[in-house]
Structure 1
Amino acid sequence: MDTMRERFTSVTSRMLAEDPRLALVLADIGAAGFAEAEQRHPDRVVNVGIREQLLIGVGGGMALTGLRPIMHTFASFLVERPFEQLKLDLGHQGVGGVLVSAGASYDWPSGGFTHMAPGDVALLDTLDGWTVHVPGHPDEAETLLRHAAAAGDDKVYVRLSMQSNAAPRSVDGARFRTVREGRGGVVIAVGPMLDSVLAATEGLPLTVLYATTVRPFDAATLRAAADAAGTSDVVIVEPYLAGTSTRPAAEALEDRPHRLLGLGVGRQELRRYGQLDEHLAAHGLDPRGLRERITGFLTGRA
């Protein structure tokens, strides 16, 4: 199976040929995979080099001319480093584009903290009007990439990862999907966390919702699931900073008593490189860690 990033390269190359409005801006990262696309569309595929602020600035300029720019690099260089340009060159100018990241929270541990971005979605939450997709499988990544490319002039972030669920699910770029039903509580699994959540909650009477589009937050589906489960105990398992989505979840349930547990990447930096699975376990995001924390939260409801 190809990775999400490999699928991004092949799908975007095809979309550039299909839609003359699309453009691609790179900052060296991933440029080799688009060599053929650059030869075919030299006016719409631009590599600005290792200049991430310029990456966003060029994308914003393209959007002002009517193009739909796709901007790609590691998440830490796409959201964190050029944050001012996201705020001004896109948001303040009233134009949109598609950010497509790689690296996620710690996909490349040996790259060190410079290449990790567990706070990317939380940072975008400080800006207005962003749609955020977090696919959990390469097939879902393709669907959401095409959805983002066709989304008019909207501002869209597609967060790719080396983590992947074993099988794809049907996604529509808007709603959470109900994967399992129960009456003991509701667990929202975001993107590549679904398989771990399903393993962690096996045999427990819990509703599991699958979220691949987290902004806008699907309040209606969460409320319906809580009503069906007869409880407002909600756990959110995200592959980025813990608690990132507890605020919109609390707003969805603000008219009723509820309890929320936000699980995700901790704030403490893990300074040993290790491997991806070791980082997951260290943050309690492996099936064993998730089961302990979820059951502890639910059994402590009294």
Structure 2
Amino acid sequence: MRQTFVDTTTALLDADPRTALVLADISASAFAPAAVRHPDRVLNVGIREQLMLGVAGGLALTGLRPFVHSYAPFVVDRAYEQIKLDLGHQGVGAVLVSVGASYDGSQMGRTHMSPGDVALFDTLGGWTVHVPGHPDEVPALLRAAATHDDPVYVRLTTAQNAHPHAGDGGLRVLRQGRSDAPLVIAVGPLLDATLGAVEGLDVTVAYTHTPRPFDVAGLRALAAGDVVLVEPYLAGTSSAVVAAALTDRPHRLLSLGVGHADLHRYGTPADHDRWHGLDAAGLRRSISGFLR
């Protein structure tokens, strides 16, 4: 996904004089050729993530469309105040593109983990959040984000599903259960694990790569009672959205995702999937127990 981002953004820089890119050393070498061609629109501020967001806000005020890129804990957690003030308070937008997702960088420790990034954007409101599950879903999302001025967050990861599922981000049914079957919603790269987890169960599985804005109309059309959310960030991040959408209907909700506790562990991303119950076996235990 990261290389797809580099390729797509480089093409945008070449084709659209409104596109700008602000970096804080991360991926600077990958964008070096673009920086030579567009030195006024490809800016590397060094390891100063807060400044990176401030510069992006300034560029947006001049009419440019800034793309901002770093590891998720650096571009979101560390620079949250600047996102709130230099973008939100000034009424301008940017396209924030992170790598690292929840724990792609787990072997580097807690400093490189950011399971709470999407929840932070929920405190600001108005952000579109894309969580692609395959590299082939990324280019269209980036190109669309370049055409307007609203705030967009694109969350990239090394994890990916076997196949892309393009679309506008609405809930897309990939497996149909009976008419009153429980609804399981898989977000981004957790789709394949979810499909493996529900094998043999009578459930409907729907996929989205755009959890914000959440497809409320699609949810209401598909939900018949029990709803299971499977998200690759903090468990419960979309619970309030789903509960509000179904407030007039009897339903039960199970929210699965990264646990809130700091595990104080390194390990691989696969280890963390297992520890948080987000591998197929863990999801199967949780979903089966809920539907029993």
TM-score by length of 2: 0.98
Partner residue, 2:267:
274
Map 1:118-197 onto structure 2 (within 5 A). 118-150=115-147, 152-172=148-168, 174-183=169-178, 184-197=181-194
Task: Map Cα deviations across residues 206-228 of structure 1 (whole Å, 9 max, x no partner).
Answer: 111101001111111011111xx
Alignment of 1:1-302 (within 5 A): 4-150=1-147, 152-172=148-168, 174-183=169-178, 184-226=181-223, 231-299=224-292
CA distance in 1, matches of 2:145, 2:198: 32
Offset at residue 272 of structure 1 (A): 2.3
For the residue of structure 1 that corresponds to 2:160, the secondary structure is coil
The one-letter amino acid paired with 1:254 is T
Q: Percent of counterpart pairs with the same letter?
A: 63
- Letter matched to residue 12 of structure 2: M
Query: What is the DSSP-based 3-state SS (H/G/I as helix, E as strand, rest coil) of the residue aligned with 2:255?
Result: strand
Output the CA distance in 1 between the equivalents of 2:245 and 2:175: 21
Larger CA deviation: 263-272 vs 215-224? 263-272
Deviations, residues 240-296 of structure 1 (Å, cap 9, x unaligned): 000000110111101111111110000111222111111100000000000110010
CA-to-partner distance for each residue in 1:171-226, whole Å, 9 max, x for gaps? 22x41211111132000000000000001011111111101001111111011111
Contact 1:131 1:215 in 2 (8 A): yes
SS at match of 2:96: strand
Name the SS for the 1:254 alignment partner.
coil
Q: 1:169 is aligned with what amino acid?
A: H
Letter in 1 for 2:149: D
Q: Which amino acid aligns with 1:41?
A: H
Residue 209 of structure 1 aligns to a residue whose secondary structure is strand
Q: Is the 8 A contact 1:176 1:209 kept in 2?
A: yes
Q: Write the letter of the residue equivalent to 1:49.
A: G
Number of residue pairs matched by the alignment? 290
Q: Which consecutive unaligned segments of at least 5 residues does structure 1 have?
A: none
3-state DSSP of counterpart to 1:260: strand
Q: Is the 1:78–1:101 Cα contact (8 Å) retained in structure 2?
A: yes
Measured against aligned partners, the alpha-carbon deviations of 1:37-57 in whole angstroms (never above 9, x if no partner) come to 000000000000000000000
The whole-number CA distance in structure 1 between the counterparts of 2:213 and 2:55 is 26
Offset of residue 111 of structure 1: 1.2
The runs of at least 4 consecutive aligned structure 1 residues that moved more than 2 Å come to none
In the aligned structure 2, how far is the partner of 1:221 from the partner of 1:91?
29
Q: Distance in 2 between matches of 1:224 and 1:24?
A: 39
Structure 2 counterpart SS, 1:168: coil
Provide the rounded CA distance (Å) in 1 between the counterparts of 2:267 and 2:109. 10
Query: What is the root-mean-square deviation of aligned Cα atoms in Å?
Result: 0.8
Aligned AA (2:95): V
- In structure 2, give the amino acid aligned to 1:160: L
Give, in whole Å, the separation in 2 of the partners of 1:98 and 1:166: 26
Amino acid across the alignment from 1:276: P
CA contact (8 A) 1:143 1:171 kept: no
Greater mean deviation of Cα atoms: 116-125 or 266-275 = 266-275
